[in-house]
């Protein structure tokens, strides 16, 4: 196994739906494991068998991983303190991906346009409250 870094996100019972949605938007390879599919002996809690124990979405350039929150705490998901930054080859692709998240119940946080540093950049919250930032290197007339 080689060294790698993945983003891990815990969602309040919506992990399966979120990762399936992201798989539809971004493609990649989705692997989802529910607690009911695993031996549950020895766990320090009693999970719902339908809750997500672990999920990965492998995309070109990286991996997202996650699972359902297993306690009764109310953890905020929607925030601007973090975002998932997805850098793609061209502005059109980024604009399309961002548009798919917005069209599926998300909202635009920052329009996708040429940034002061010359590249293209924009932000959208998906319907799960996760902020996605999109970037692409400057290209000819992409606007």
Q: Are residue 56 and residue 99 in the same domain, yes or no?
A: no
Instruction: Report how far residue 20's alpha carbon sits from residue 56's, in angstroms, rounded to the nearest whole number.
Output: 10
CA separation, residue 28 to residues 23, 45, 58, 62, 115 (Å):
6, 32, 5, 10, 28
H/E stretch holding 91 reads helix 91-103
> Minimum mean pLDDT among 13-22, 51-60, 131-140: which range?
131-140
Q: Which of 37, 68, 99 is the last residue of a domain?
A: 68
Number of domain units in the chain: 2
Comparison of pLDDT for 136 and 40, the residue scoring more: 136
For the segment 15-28, the average pLDDT, to the nearest whole number, is 97
Instruction: Report how far residue 57's alpha carbon sits from residue 130's, in angstroms, rounded to the nearest whole number.
Output: 15
Please check whether residue 52 lies inside any domain of the structure: yes
3-state secondary structure of 100: helix
The DSSP-derived string for 2-61 is -----EEEEESS-HHHHHHHHHHHH-SEEEEEEGGGS--TT-SS---TTSEEEEEEEETT
Q: Are residue 18 and residue 47 in the same domain, yes or no?
A: yes
Q: Are residue 95 and residue 58 in the same domain, yes or no?
A: no
pLDDT digits (tens, 9 = 90+) for 53-110: 999 999 988 999 999 998 777 777 888 788 999 999 999 999 999 999 999 999 999 9
Please check whether residue 119 lies inside any domain of the structure: yes
Domain span at residue 132? Answer: 84-136
Q: Are residue 13 and residue 62 in the same domain, yes or no?
A: yes
Please check whether residue 73 lies inside any domain of the structure: no
Q: Are residue 93 and residue 64 in the same domain, yes or no?
A: no
CATH of the domain at 12: 3.10.180.10
Q: pTM (2 decimals)?
A: 0.86
pLDDT digits (tens, 9 = 90+) for 96-117: 999 999 999 999 999 999 999 9
């Amino acid at each position: 196994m080689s060294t790698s870094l993945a983003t891990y996100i815990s969602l309040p019972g919506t992990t399966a739906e979120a990762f399936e949605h992201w798989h539809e938007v971004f493609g990649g390879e989705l692997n989802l494991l529910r607690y009911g599919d695993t031996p549950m002996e020895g766990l320090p809690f009693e999970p719902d068998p339908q809750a997500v124990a672990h999920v990965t979405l492998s995309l070109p350039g990286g991996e997202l991983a996650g699972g359902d929150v297993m306690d009764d705490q109310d953890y905020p998901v929607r925030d601007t303190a973090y975002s998932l930054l997805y850098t793609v080859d061209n502005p059109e692709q980024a604009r399309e991906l961002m548009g798919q998240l917005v069209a599926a119940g998300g909202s635009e946080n920052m329009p996708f346009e040429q940034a002061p540093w010359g590249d293209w950049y924009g932000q959208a919250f998906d319907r799960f409250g996760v902020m996605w930032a999109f970037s692409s290197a400057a290209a000819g007339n992409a606007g």
